[in-house]
C-alpha cells in the first residue's frame, strides 16, 4: 500500500488529536495490478457510542456518501484506517470479527498505535476472507 507523506501525516494527526479515543477514516485511491495507492484520506466521526476507547464504527451513510464522491473523481474506497490507543498497531479480534461480517475480502486496513498520546507504530493489513484473517501489507 502506498500512502504519500502528507496523507499519512493527516492520519497520524487525526490519531493524536483523537487520543484517548479511537479515530477512523476512509482511504480513497486507485488500484493497479501491482499496487494500491491512497490519493485521499477522509476522516470520519467514530460513531461507536459504548466503547470508543477500544472500538470504532463508521456510519453506513458516511461510507455511501464518500463512495459516491469518490466515483465522481474516478477513485474507489481502498480501505479504512483507525487508531489503537495504548494498544499495538495490530488487528484485534474485534477488528477481525467485524471484517469477517462484511464484504471485506482484499480491503486495506491501516492501524495507528498511539501510546500515551504519541504515535508508536503504523501498520497496514489486508483482510482475506478465505483465511478469515488479516495479512500484513507493506506500507510505503
Which residues are part of the catalytic machinery? 22
Cα 43 from Cα 110, distance rounded (Å): 13
DSSP 23: -
Cα 82 from Cα 43, distance rounded (Å): 9
Q: Sign (positive/negative) of CA torsion 77, 44, 59, 48?
A: positive
> What DSSP string describes 43-110?
EE-----S-TTT-----HHHHHHHHHHHHHTT-EEEEEEEEEETS-SS--HHHHHHHHHSS-TT-EEE
Amino acid at each position: 500500500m502506498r500512502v504519500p507523506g502528507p496523507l499519512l501525516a493527516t492520519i497520524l494527526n487525526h490519531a493524536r488529536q483523537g487520543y484517548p479515543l479511537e479515530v477512523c477514516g476512509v482511504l480513497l485511491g486507485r488500484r493497479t495490478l501491482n499496487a494500491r495507492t491512497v490519493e485521499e484520506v477522509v476522516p470520519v466521526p467514530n460513531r461507536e457510542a459504548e466503547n470508543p476507547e477500544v472500538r470504532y464504527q463508521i456510519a453506513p451513510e458516511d461510507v455511501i456518501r464518500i463512495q459516491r464522491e469518490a466515483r465522481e473523481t474516478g477513485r474507489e474506497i481502498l480501505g479504512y484506517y483507525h487508531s489503537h490507543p495504548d494498544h499495538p498497531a495490530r488487528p484485534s479480534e474485534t477488528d477481525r470479527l467485524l471484517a469477517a461480517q462484511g464484504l471485506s475480502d482484499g480491503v486495506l486496513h491501516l492501524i495507528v498505535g498511539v501510546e500515551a498520546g504519541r504515535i508508536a507504530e503504523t501498520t497496514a493489513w489486508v483482510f482475506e476472507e478465505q483465511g478469515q484473517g488479516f495479512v500484513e501489507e507493506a506500507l510505503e
